[in-house]
Amino acid sequence: MKFTEKAWQIFNRAIDDYHVKNDVYSTINNPYDESDLIEHLLYKKNWIDTVQWHLEDIIRDPEIDPVEALKIKRWIDKSNQERTDMVEYVDSWFLQKYSDVNVQPDAKINTESPAWAIDRFSILSLKVYHMKEEANRPEASAEHRANCQKKLDVLNEQHDDLSTAIEELIQDIEAGRKYMKVYKQMKMYNDDELNPVLYKKK
């Protein structure tokens, strides 16, 4: 099975598991043991994305209580950091997997690492799931459902293109035609040593 096929299955399992309760306060129950490292990481990554997807919906309620909105905003900030951490864990897995590859002299670096492409793939799985819901929502108008079906068709095409691109990137890294160079994300606003609003309060 191709890597992207496995990832897509895992992402959709996480989304389906979340929607059993459809509650942002639900606790993750990762079915993949940490010994199955990449599967465990992919499931956790998508679960974080799924919860954040719904937090983004909640915070856009025009009647949300301001105190609750601030609580959700800080939750989203924390979630963004967790998402970044998960991407770095996945990239570390790829770095380890291909650490013995003989990189060709003319090898090139890609504009993004495999894990950041997989991050977009995870978000795409959520777009497909929720657009499919809208395309089949019984109480919605026929026009709404038709418009959402058109968007779903585009998302499905994007799935095919992105999965192809990810597979080709992995093949190029495996063959030494491209090499990985991973930079740690330096999110300054979460760091109390770098965010002036935070460090001036010390």
Long-range contacts of 184-189 (CB under 8 A, 24+ apart): 184/88, 185/84, 185/87, 185/88, 187/80, 187/81, 187/84, 189/77
Identify each DSSP E strand in 100-190 by its residue range. Answer: 108-109, 178-179
Query: Cα-Cα-Cα-Cα dihedral of 160, 83, 80, 66, to 10°?
Result: 90
Per-residue confidence of the chain (202 residues) as pLDDT tens digits? Answer: 999 999 999 999 999 999 999 999 999 999 999 999 999 999 999 999 999 999 999 999 999 999 999 999 999 999 999 999 999 999 999 999 999 999 999 999 999 999 999 999 999 999 999 999 999 999 999 999 999 999 999 999 999 999 999 999 999 999 999 999 887 766 666 667 757 766 677 7
CA–CA dist 41, 33 (Å, integer)? 10
Answer yes or no: are the C-beta atoms of 134 and 117 closer than 8 Å. Answer: no
Q: What is the pTM of this model?
A: 0.92
